[in-house]
Amino acid sequence: MNTITIFAPATVANVSCGFDAMGFALETLGDKMTFTKTASKKITISKIEGAELPFDTDKNVAGVVAQAMLKDSNAAFGVNIEIYKNFKPGSGLGSSAASASGTAFAINQFLNNKYTNLELVKFAMLGEIAACGSAIADNVAAAIYGGFILVRSYEPLDIISIPTPKELMVTAIHPQIEVKTADARKVIPSKITLKTAIAQWANVGGLISGLHTENYDLIANSLVDYVAEPARKHLIPYFDEVKESSLKSGALGVGISGSGPTIFALSKGIETANKVAEAMQKTYSETGIKYEIHVSKINETGSKIITKWNIIV
Amino acid sequence: MNTITIFAPATVANVSCGFDAMGFALETLGDKMTFTKTASKKITISKIEGAELPFDTDKNVAGVVAQAMLKDSNAAFGVNIEIYKNFKPGSGLGSSAASASGTAFAINQFLNNKYTNLELVKFAMLGEIAACGSAIADNVAAAIYGGFILVRSYEPLDIISIPTPKELMVTAIHPQIEVKTADARKVIPSKITLKTAIAQWANVGGLISGLHTENYDLIANSLVDYVAEPARKHLIPYFDEVKESSLKSGALGVGISGSGPTIFALSKGIETANKVAEAMQKTYSETGIKYEIHVSKINETGSKIITKWNIIV
């Protein structure tokens, strides 16, 4: 295997009540990346399409992750990377996480799956540090494990896979405005009342239980965020209107994807997910703000191989 | 059915990370209560054994709950109550909750199960108000539903049953000292850092997932309380020593039951639960403080009928 092309999914972090602890991956939105083994023992990036990102491997998320893995494994080869971004950085859908996780997954293929998924998350987190300065695990864990994940603990890092109810669908609207992660972080309070915290963790418990039991009512009731959403929704134009119209169209719940500006909705079944997309479209079409809407199943496998082939050089 | 004798289980509220949101019921510790239908349309309490509690039905938890139910259902009968307490008020094992829940369950039998479990919890919460001034649901919900419960929301009240792993056992030590609920509440901070809150709800998610999947390692890792335990453990003599020796003996996790002073441990299997009991006993036997130790399965059915019979008067 000399060359491998992989799919690295977009991801929704936080999932309303699960702020900084939960995430899930999308099936139909994500980046393509092609990795080719080279003899040079170096990482190179020969192509980046779909976004303005650095080719410098010390600054590019994929480059940072690939270098760390080749160094750690003492690999006798190098890798050239081509990046085809299908969704933009700054969307709140884990753009840097897709690059980092896709790279960790692909390099691990070249290393005969030397590393566990948990170890891949740790490598991918180095990419998140390069991208935004924080070792955040929720997006990268979702992109590597697939499905719903819970970051139960950071020290030691513990990622829990939570089952995905069969009919669960995602609708996401990405308003084409910029919300910087740093700005979105600033509005989050450093302290919250215990009463708020209890209400939030009761919903985390409800959401996790609802996912385990495919109880869509429980999932719907639990998709509430008392912490980040009230602080951040003002950064996202027409958030309340999108939420209201989506819920009216049958969405189980609506929240901010990561630090925004993407708004995600979860629905039971494709029909409802499409109705929610129409509602989002209708709300945003009147605003003059450009937007993209995605309807997707939950990705249950994480990053995956699209094609691989051997080229005799 | 004129007379019914029921078992009302002791309960552990909070369950470490699930502060004010989780609880479970014990199989082998609880009160007995006998209820007899009368023609008077009044509630009377003819016997209380095992604790000093008021016979005045406006002040006794059982009396308060029974009166509310007979009034709400416009019942054409009265009830006499006998209370046989097998564990003491102020233990942190839900003594008032057992009386309240047992009463709600028993009166519902006389009413041909007119009320749902959720409605019974609401009636039993009136007893908790009478006992401690707060409408707390975690103990009474566990005593009515049995097994593990999650109080997902108070408004509206939403109780979620969480499955009980088959081999899960409880060991509980009740040091015979008094910790008043009001005092235990005072030491709890009204605000916590978001970082602490996130760590706590990540563990709630882990505990709920571990219970669903019978993953004992995950349960063990998740049984951590960053909020109440650090504040309250100083009210319980030798808490750290009991915790350390219990964990060394194989307990999955150790925490404060409700607002204490009872310390509970969860273990996999009866052998480990007994070893934990020995460790607790050894630790406390050297302190000069009196104590009781209970080893129990998780009660999966909640309050239950022991005997019922018809007496033709």
Tell me: the pLDDT tens digits for A271-296?
999 999 999 999 999 899 999 999 99
Closest residue, chain A, to B19 (C-alpha) = A198
- The fold of A168-297 is Alpha-Beta Plaits (3.30.70)
Query: Residues A180-208: what's their mean pLDDT?
Result: 93
Indicate the residue of B21, B190, B199 with minimum beta-carbon distance to A205: B21
Residue A220 has pLDDT above 70, yes or no: yes
Enumerate chain A positions whose Cβ falls within 8 A of a Cβ in B: 17-22, 150-153, 158, 160, 162, 188-194, 197-209, 212-213, 218, 221-222, 227
User: Is A128 designated active site?
Assistant: yes
pLDDT of residue B38 exceeding 70, the answer is yes
Query: What are the two backbone dihedrals, phi and then psi, of residue A295, each rounded to the nearest 5 degrees?
Result: -115, 130
Shortest CB distance from B202 goes to which of A153, A192, A209?
A153
**Residue B168: in which H helix or E strand, if any?**
strand B168-175
Burial class from Cβ neighbours inside 10 Å (0-12, 13-18, 19+) for residue A234 reads: exposed
Mean pLDDT of chain B: 95
Task: With residue B94 as reference, give the H or E element that holds it.
Answer: none
Q: Taking 90 as the threshold, does the pLDDT of residue B33 lie above it?
A: yes
pLDDT exceeds 80 at position B311:
no
The residue from A181, A262, A272, A283 that is catalytic is A181
CA A245, A248, A250, A255 torsion: positive or negative? positive
Condensed to tens digits (0 to 9), the pLDDT of residues A64-118 reads 999 999 999 999 999 999 999 999 888 999 999 999 999 999 999 999 999 999 9
Question: What pLDDT sits at residue A312?
Answer: 57
Q: Give CA–CA dist A137/A5, Å, rounded.
A: 24
Place of tokens 């602080």: A231
Return all residues near A289 (Cβ < 8 A) that are at least 6 apart.
A175, A176, A177, A237, A238
DSSP, residue by residue, A146-199: -SEEEEEEETTEEEEEEPPPTTEEEEEEEESS---HHHHHHTS-SEEEHHHHHH
ipTM of the shown complex: 0.95
- Token output for B58: 């406006």
**pLDDT score at A311:** 64
CA distance A96 to A83: 12
For residue B22, which residues of chain A lie inside 8 Å, CB to CB?
Answer: 205
Residues in chain A: 313
pLDDT of residue B264: 98
Contacts of B47 (CB under 8 A, 6+ apart): B82, B83, B84
Alpha helices in A233-310 (DSSP H): 239-248, 270-285
Q: Who wins on pLDDT, B82 or B313? A: B82
Q: Enumerate residues 6+ apart whose C-beta is below 8 A from A105.
A: A6, A8, A120, A144, A302, A303, A304
CA atoms B231, B232, B236, B240: torsion sign: negative
Closest chain A residue to B228, measured at CA? A194
Determine which one of B128, B164, B171, B272 is catalytic: B128
* Beta strands A78-84 and A22-38, pairing class: antiparallel
State the average pLDDT over residues B91-104: 96
Q: Is the per-residue pLDDT at B134 higher than 90?
A: no
Which residues make Cβ contacts (< 8 Å) with residue B132, sequence separation at least 6?
B96, B181, B182
**CA distance linking residue A204 with residue B201, whole number of Å:** 7
Cβ neighbours for A116, distance < 8 A, ≥ 6 positions apart = none
Global pTM? Answer: 0.96
How far is the C-alpha of B104 from the C-alpha of B144, rounded, in Å?
Answer: 8
What six digits make up the tokens of B220? Answer: 């063990």
pLDDT cut 90: percent of chain A above it:
91
Lowest mean pLDDT among A124-138, A236-250, B271-285: A124-138
- For residue B192, list chain A residues with Cβ-Cβ distance below 8 A: 191-192, 194, 197
- From A294, A188, A174, select the one nearest A236 (Cα to Cα): A174
pLDDT number for residue A216:
98
Q: CATH classification of A3-163+299-309 is 3.30.230.10, yes or no?
A: yes
Strand partners, A11: A25
pLDDT in tens, B135-184: 899 999 999 999 999 999 999 999 999 999 999 999 999 999 988 777 88
CA B212 to chain centre: 21
B128 is catalytic: yes
Instruction: Report the residue from A22, A200, A208 with minimal CB separation from B208.
Output: A208
Amino acid of residue B56:
D
d(CA A19, CA B92): 31
Q: Could you state, in order of their start, the residue ranges of all structural domains in chain A?
A: 3-163+299-309, 168-297
Residue B50 φ/ψ, nearest 5 degrees? 95, -5
Closest Cβ–Cβ partner in A151, A153, A194 for B221: A153
Measured in angstroms, the CA of B204 and the nearest CA of chain A are apart by: 6
Count Cα neighbours of B208 within 13 Å in the Cβ-side half-sphere: 33
**CATH 3.30.230.10 given to domain B3-162+299-309:** yes
Instruction: Give B248-301 pLDDT, tens digit per residue.
Output: 999 999 999 999 999 999 999 999 999 999 999 999 998 999 999 999 999 999
What is the per-residue pLDDT across B229-238, written as a single tens digit (0 to 9) for each? 999 999 999 9
Name which of B12, B23, B20 is nearest A193 in CA terms: B20
Measured CA to CA in angstroms, residue B56 lies from A71, A147, B46, B180 at distances of: 76, 56, 10, 22
Residue B312's pLDDT band (boundaries 50, 70, 90)?
Answer: low
Ramachandran category for residue A214: left, alpha or beta (phi over 0 → left; psi -120 to 50 → alpha): left
- At A132-179, the pLDDT tens digits run 888 899 999 999 999 999 999 999 999 999 999 999 999 999 999 988
**Residue among A151, A198, A207 with most chain B CBs within 10 A, to mutate:** A198
Q: Is A137 helix (H, G, I), strand (E, B) or coil?
A: coil
Decide: A30 and A301 in contact? Cβ < 8 Å.
Answer: no
Q: Taking 60 as the threshold, does the pLDDT of residue A302 lie above it?
A: yes
If DSSP states are collapsed to H, E and C, what string results for A213-244? HCCHHHHHHHCCCCCHHHHHHHHCCCHHHHHH
- Shortest Cα distance, chain B CAs vs residue A199, angstroms: 7
Average pLDDT in the A292-309 region?
94
Per-residue confidence (pLDDT) for residue A227, from 0 to 100: 98
Inform me whether the pLDDT recorded for B313 exceeds 60. no
